[in-house]
Amino acid sequence: MRATRVLEALPANTPFIGPERLMREGGLRELVRLGANESAFGPSPRAVAAMSGELERLSWYGDPDSYELRETLAARNGCTIDQILVACGIDDLMGLVVRAFVEIGGVAIAARGTYPTFAYHVAGYGGRLETAPYTDAGEPDLEALSALAHQLHASVAYLANPDNPSGTFISGERIAAFYESLPVGTLLLLDEAYADFAEQELLLEPRFEDRLIRARTFSKAYGLAGARIGYTLTTAHNVERFERIRLQYGVNRNAQIGALAALEDEAHLAWVVRETAAARDAYAELARGVGMTVLPSRANFICIDIGDARRATRVMNALLERGVWIRKPGAPPLDRCIRVTAGTPPMREAFARALRDVLREIA
Ligand SMILES: *Cc1c(COP(=O)(O)O)cnc(C)c1O
């Protein structure tokens, strides 16, 4: 019995190896989790209370329309409720975008080595991903991406801003120019997973057009990664398209409740954003102290330049042996870096100790 041609042609591929597996395989009992850009500062206590209070009603399905949450999001974003689709995180939304807009054999483009789920869906739906390397400064190369889109008639261009894994940020003006430079047949999927950490006035201005889909999440600044919930800002037309293929009951009922309560706790969000900036500063200072540099970051993680890819891999593995889990970019030119998530002061201290140890060891 054969599976589909598309599936049979896929390589065995695990885009993410979870820390749980690393612990099992490494015989580690504890891990300082600085590898997945989860919030070290936790969800809003109001979200936790709201979710806890509703646990007894887990026998009910959630509202398939996520109506209340979309109502609140629409008010926050100055749009109508029908311009918002709620899904099980951006990872889910990316699958919908690819399924809706990339034909089998069709081309999508992205920066080489960017957040991997988009590539995973493109392969899974039988599309072809073409990439352009990051600039040496660690930014997605907008000019190269635009040229690629024209050359290959790409149906979707994926761009994360702030970017992962670099952490670099491109101003709304430059994003707008990039968007306008794309062919009329190319849709821009703008992944704003980390937008909450950037200055809001520097983001791309509100813009609702069929060729633009912005994706947001509660996984990062709101600290609800395990709840799996995110949303789009796009046109009602696109939302209606997704309505035809989305998993109607995919979004966890408790996640809707938690997300709504989290949105109302603006003080918690502001605190997380401040703590995150403090963590980035602490890492930058640590890096300076050991003679290294960092990439500029507007996200809840930072890239430390270790010098070359082999050394960066060695540092990452040696940190794991010491119970500190981080990740590193996989493709040049960023593969000379390690990527470390913003941690609480004790987590930062554990990382600093382990890093100094490792650098001494491999000197
Ligand atoms: C973490 C991350 C995501 C995942 O978001 P979910 O809403 O948890 O699926 C998406 N995009 C980028 C760039 C990320 O770093």
Residue nearest (by alpha carbon) to ligand 1 atom 14: 193
Q: Residue 31: exposed, middle, or buried by beta-carbon count in 10 A (0-12, 13-18, 19+)? A: middle
Q: Which atom of ligand 1 is nearest to the CA of 230?
A: 7
Residue 298 makes CB contacts below 8 A (sequence gap 6+) with 162, 167, 168, 169, 194, 197, 198, 199
What mean pLDDT is reported for the chain? Answer: 97
64 touches 248 (CB < 8 A): yes
Q: CA-CA distance, 156 to 239, in Å (whole number)?
A: 16
pLDDT tens, position by position, 175-195: 999 999 999 999 999 999 999
Asked if the model's pLDDT at residue 13 lies above 80, the reply is no
In this structure, is residue 1 part of a structural domain? no
- State how far the Cα of 37 lies from the Cα of 115, in Å rounded to an integer: 12
Q: Is the CB of 115 under 6 A from ligand 1?
A: yes
Q: Please, are residues 195 and 137 in contact by the beta-carbon 8 Å criterion?
A: no
Structural domain of residue 112, as residue ranges? 45-264
Are residues 271 and 235 part of one domain? no
Please tell me whether residues 260 and 130 are part of one structural domain: yes
219 lines ligand 1 (CB under 6 A): yes
pLDDT of residue 278: 98
Is 119 in contact with 129 (CB distance < 8 Å)? Answer: yes
pLDDT value of residue 262:
98
Q: Looking at the domain assignment, is residue 7 inside a domain?
A: no
* pLDDT score, position 298: 98
Q: Is the pLDDT of residue 15 over 90?
A: no
Q: Cα-atom radius of gyration of the chain, to the nearest Å?
A: 20
pLDDT of residue 104: 97
Q: Is 90 in the pocket of ligand 1 (CB under 6 A)?
A: yes
Same domain, 129 and 242: yes
Shared domain for 250 and 151, answered yes or no, is: yes
Query: For 249-276, how does the pLDDT look when each residue is reduced to its tens digit (9 = 90+)?
Result: 999 999 999 999 999 999 999 999 999 9
User: pLDDT category, 16, cuts 50, 70, 90?
Assistant: confident
**Residue 72, token pair as written in the block:** 């609140």
pLDDT (average), residues 12-28: 87
CA–CA gap between residue 177 and residue 71 (Å, rounded): 30
Q: Say if residue 102 is in the same domain as residue 205.
A: yes
Same domain, 109 and 239: yes
Residues 292 and 226 in one domain: no
Helix (H) or strand (E) holding 325: strand 324-325
Tell me if 249 is assigned to some domain: yes
Asked if residue 36 belongs to a domain, the reply is: yes
Q: Which atom of ligand 1 lies closest to the CA of 89?
A: 7
Which of 164, 233, 339 gets mutated to test ligand 1 (max ligand atoms within 8 A of its CB)?
Answer: 164
Distance in angstroms (rounded) separating the CA atoms of residues 209 and 280: 35
pLDDT for 299-356, tens place per residue?
999 999 999 999 999 999 999 999 999 999 999 999 999 999 999 999 999 999 999 9
Our answer on whether the CB atom of 160 is closer than 6 Å to any ligand 1 atom is yes
Average pLDDT over residues 93-102: 98
Boundary of a domain, candidates 264, 283, 302: 264
What is the count of structural domains for the chain?
Answer: 2
The verdict on residue 228 lying in a domain is yes
Token readout for 203 is: 């983001």
Residues 139 and 172 in one domain: yes
CATH code for the domain of 282 = 3.90.1150.10
Report residue 19's pLDDT band, with 50, 70 and 90 as the boundaries. very high
What pLDDT shows up at residue 188? 98
In-domain check, residue 32: yes
Q: Are 29 and 53 in a shared domain?
A: no
- pTM (2 d.p.): 0.97
Residues 250 and 214 both lie in one domain: yes
Last residue of a domain, one of 264, 282, 299: 264
The reply to whether 186 falls in a domain is yes
- Give the CATH number for residue 84: 3.40.640.10
Task: Establish whether residue 37 lines the binding site of ligand 1, counting it when its CB lies within 6 angstroms of any ligand atom.
Answer: yes
| Sheet with 301-305: strands ordered across | 293-294, 301-305, 337-341
Range 41-51 burial, b when 16+ CB lie within 10 A, else e: bebbebbbebb
Nearest to 167, CA basis, from 145, 198, 189: 198
User: In the prediction, which pLDDT does 11 show?
Assistant: 87
Residue 313 shares a structural domain with residue 251: no
249 plus 294 within the same structural domain: no
CA distance 307 to 292: 8
Rounded percentage of the chain residues whose pLDDT exceeds 70: 100
The answer to whether 120 and 98 are in contact (CB under 8 A) is no
In a domain, 248, yes or no: yes
3 phi and psi, to 5 degrees?
A: -80, -175
Last residue of one domain, picked from the residues 208, 235, 264:
264
- pLDDT tens, 109-164? 999 999 999 999 999 999 999 999 999 999 999 999 999 999 999 999 999 999 99
